[in-house]
Amino acid sequence: MSKFKIVLVAPEIPGNTGSIGRTAVALDLELILIKPLAFDIDEKAVRRAGLDYWKYVKLKTYESFDDFLENEKPDPSKLFLFSRFATKTIFETTITKDSYLIFGSETKGLPVEVKEKFASQLVTLPMNSEHIRSLNLANAATAAAYEALRQIDFK
């Protein structure tokens, strides 16, 4: 079974984090939150979006992206950083069980220094309309998680 991880860098909207937590529980994945968080993870809004599932979220938090890298020690080729500015789609990747799906905050995306350091690992979900700037974070994370699941478990 898949065991890739979902990583949120500086999430701002508790409802999105709660919804992503619910997806993580559904797929038996770990959710990693990288500070700063714009809310307390015990907030009612996070629990409401995660419903009664929040207590089952396999949750880790890190103080910074560097703290995450130092403690998780991921293979850089297993990091998939989502950006609307990426030229490669998730469908052009090979996601494995030890991969990390990494998403930035709702209003700022990933920090510039992180995107620069891992430029070759930037991916996007396709958007075919010029009327949309970005997808909702919870929707994007869920879509990416199910594509990762398909790649790992259903090849």
User: For the chain, what are the domain ranges?
Assistant: 5-153
Q: Is the pLDDT of residue 56 over 80?
A: yes
Residues 19, 33, 110, 135, Cα dihedral to 10°: 0
Confidence of residue 47 (pLDDT cuts 50, 70, 90): low
Write down the architecture of domain 5-153 according to CATH: 3-Layer(aba) Sandwich (3.40)
> Which pLDDT tens digit goes with each residue over 105-141?
999 999 999 999 999 999 999 988 889 888 899 999 9
Q: Is the pLDDT of residue 1 over 70?
A: no
Q: Is the pLDDT of residue 37 over 70?
A: yes
| pTM beyond cutoff 0.85 | yes
At 49 the pLDDT is 61
d(CA 112, CA 89): 19
Dump the DSSP string for 66-93: HHHHHHH---GGGEEEE-TT-SSBGGGS
At 52 the pLDDT is 74
- For the chain, the average pLDDT equals 91
Q: Give the gyration radius of the chain's Cα atoms.
A: 14
Average pLDDT over residues 140-149: 96
